[in-house]
Amino acid sequence: LLAVGAGYSVALGAFIAGSLGAESGHAHEVEKLIAGVRDMFGAIFFVSVGMLIDPNLVLAHWGTVVAFT
């Protein structure tokens, strides 16, 4: 919120917050606290990417898909 209020992007604010957290000496404690949230967003990411796959396109190029997998 401070970064956005100062006219910077949310990504820059998140980067600075992460850097401050890592340098605070309490990184392991913070990592344990946010593990559930991290896992939840990881699952959301993979589900959303999976939903972008067109099954007809996979079937049309099944040989290439099998070769890569």
Kindly report which listed range (3-7, 8-12, 25-29, 35-39) carries the lowest average pLDDT score: 25-29
- Element (DSSP H or E) covering residue 53: none
Q: How many CB atoms lie within 10 A of CB 16?
A: 13
Tokens 């820059």 label which residue? Answer: 12
Q: Strands of 1-69 (E only): list them.
A: none
Q: How confident is the model at residue 13 (pLDDT cuts 50, 70, 90)?
A: very high
Evaluate if pTM is beyond 0.85. no
Region of 7 on the Ramachandran plot (φ > 0 left; ψ -120 to 50 alpha; else beta): left
pLDDT at 54: 93
Q: What is the pLDDT of residues 23-59, one digit of tens each?
A: 888 888 888 988 999 999 999 999 999 999 999 999 9
